[in-house]
Amino acid sequence: MSTTLNPYLSFRDNAKEAMSFYQSVFGGTLESSTFADMNMAEDPSEGSKIMHSSLTTDDGLVIMASDTPSSMNLDEGSSYSISISGDDGDRLRGYWDKLLDGGQMTMPLEKAPWGDVFGMLTDKFGTSWMISIETEDSQG
């Protein structure tokens, strides 16, 4: 039996754009359903909003997201970051570069005191990311 933890992102009305962006960063298969597709649009003008979207990459990463109807509160004050780590420096630097496009660097991607190459950024959709590249110095 296994357990999986996936980030589930909430947007007001740009989940489709955000998830397409994440697909361009990470690759993989993107599946989405609108509120209209599921006959769940309380307000017909919001039928094209994303009710559920899931991106599954070849590496097994899963990111989910949805839009938030105007009748519901969107909590933009939550504090969280999505952390991606590993030893494939080229791949992780590629993710960093793509996520940073249109975003803002919080901490440069550089050698950290514990030995990893580490950086933090907020992408153009407001999602915070931490990238950690394991190095020989950090592997005990």
Q: What percent of the chain has pLDDT over 70?
A: 94
Could you tell me which of 139, 98, 99 has the C-alpha nearest to residue 117?
Answer: 139
140, pLDDT greater than 60:
no
CATH of domain 82-133: 3.30.720.110
**Domain ranges for the chain:** 8-67, 82-133
DSSP E strands, the chain: 8-11, 29-34, 50-56, 62-67, 82-86, 104-111, 117-122, 128-133
pLDDT for 125 beyond 90: yes
Q: Which fold has domain 8-67?
A: 2,3-Dihydroxybiphenyl 1,2-Dioxygenase; domain 1 (3.10.180)
Specify the pTM. Answer: 0.88
Nearest to 115 by CA among 132, 129, 130: 132
Q: Which of 2-6, 36-40, 43-47 has the lowest mean pLDDT?
A: 2-6
- pLDDT tens digits for 79-97? 789 999 999 999 999 999 9
